[in-house]
Amino acid sequence: MGVSMATARAWVERWERQQERYALDREERFTVIADVVEHVTAGRPRPLLLDLGCGPGSLAARLSDRLPDAEIVAADMDPLLLELGRTHHADAARYVDTVIGEEGWADALGLERPLDAAVSTTALHYLPEPVLLRTYRCLAALLRPGGVLVNGDHFPPDGAPCSDITAYVARRRAERTGGHPQEDWRSWWDAAAREPELGDLFDERERRRPAHGVSGGGGHLTMGRHTELLHQAGFSHVTPVWQFGDSAVLVAVRVITGACAG
């Protein structure tokens, strides 16, 4: 199921463009996440980072550029996106095929020491709330004291009036900065299915989809609800460090010892 470097580069570049449709100021969000990780790992000789729902390695590659001495583990359940990342961003991370939130998912990571930071962007919202809480508890156990979970995603505020306002502000911002790219998520996947080099990986992806019971039930929880779940999971301090509209970067600091049951 190997993919040539040229094909991987082309499809990752298309992925980057279509993802701009869904993440307001996506590059700035990546930069802010890297800022947090840089601050938390300052002075540590080889920080260990985990990228949750890494896709084709977009965030892992940027973290690797910013922190070239870091060891990065990038986890996802999608065989096609993982292979694109392994090929196009081969030096950025060690890519792991695992279903975040399922029983034993953390064991597959092969971690031999505590994490300094776990990061994610537009990936954890697909987890149903009980699975998300279990995942947060597991991450609290995997992180060293003072380590952080940094999650960039859409966090609608509590209450429809405020939610409508933040969504409108985000939409107007997107219009002012050039609107959305022509290709969207669905059309990217439709086109990928017609790429001969990706055929075997696409077939494997389709075979796996019915088996992934943790996905498809999450939706976008409010920032307040995420904060409550993170506190329940053992993160003593939680705060947004960047926000525009309902797009935000939420940071949770691990202080209390946890236990990973996942």
Q: pLDDT (tens digit, 9 = 90+) per residue, 61-94?
A: 999 999 999 999 999 999 999 999 999 999 999 9
**Residue 53 and residue 78: Cα distance in Å, rounded?**
9
Categorise residue 147: left if φ over 0, alpha if ψ from -120 to 50, beta otherwise: beta
Residue 259 lies in a domain: no
Q: For the whole model, what pTM was predicted?
A: 0.91
Bridge partners, 79 (sequence order) = none
What pLDDT score was predicted for residue 181? 61
Quick check: 55 pLDDT over 80? yes
What pLDDT score was predicted for residue 216? 47
Residue 119 lies in a domain: yes
More confident residue, 23 or 64: 64
Q: How many CA atoms lie within 13 A of 138 on its CB side?
A: 20
Residue 260 lies in a domain: no
Cβ pair 78, 211 in contact under 8 A: no
Residue 155 lies in a domain: yes
Sequential DSSP letters for 102-123: STTTTGGG---S-EEEEEEES-
Residue 201 lies in a domain: yes
What does DSSP say about strands 48-52 and 71-76: parallel, antiparallel, or unpaired? parallel
- The gap from C-alpha 2 to its chain's centroid, in whole angstroms, comes to 24
Residue 262 lies in a domain: no
What pLDDT score was predicted for residue 257? 57
Kindly state the DSSP code that residue 96 receives in the 8-state scheme: E
Average pLDDT over residues 241-246: 90
**Residue 240 and residue 243: Cα distance in Å, rounded?**
7
- Cα distances from 66 to residues 30, 75, 86, 136, in angstroms, run 11, 19, 19, 26
Kindly state the DSSP code that residue 196 receives in the 8-state scheme: G
Quick check: 259 pLDDT over 60? no
Domain residues for the domain of 90 are: 5-254
Helices (H), ranges, 21-179 = 26-40, 58-66, 79-88, 129-142, 160-176
Helix (H, G, I), strand (E, B) or coil at 245: coil
Q: pLDDT (tens digit, 9 = 90+) per residue, 198-232?
A: 999 999 999 988 655 454 455 689 999 999 999 99
Nearest one of 125, 133, 82, 145 to 262, comparing CA atoms: 133
What percent of the chain shows pLDDT beyond 90?
A: 73
Quick check: 179 pLDDT over 60? no
What pLDDT score was predicted for residue 50? 98
Residue 261 lies in a domain: no
**Residue 50 and residue 189: Cα distance in Å, rounded?**
26
Nearest one of 163, 134, 154 to 262, comparing CA atoms: 134
Cβ pair 235, 133 in contact under 8 A: no
Cβ pair 182, 20 in contact under 8 A: no
Average pLDDT over residues 95-101: 97
More confident residue, 137 or 257: 137
**Tally of domains in the chain:** 1
Average pLDDT over residues 180-200: 90
- Cα distances from 261 to residues 30, 107, 117, 139, in angstroms, run 29, 10, 19, 10
Average pLDDT over residues 99-114: 96
What pLDDT score was predicted for residue 258? 54
Q: What is the CATH number of the domain that holds 143?
A: 3.40.50.150
What pLDDT score was predicted for residue 52? 98
What pLDDT score was predicted for residue 255? 82
Average pLDDT over residues 115-130: 95
What pLDDT score was predicted for residue 156? 85
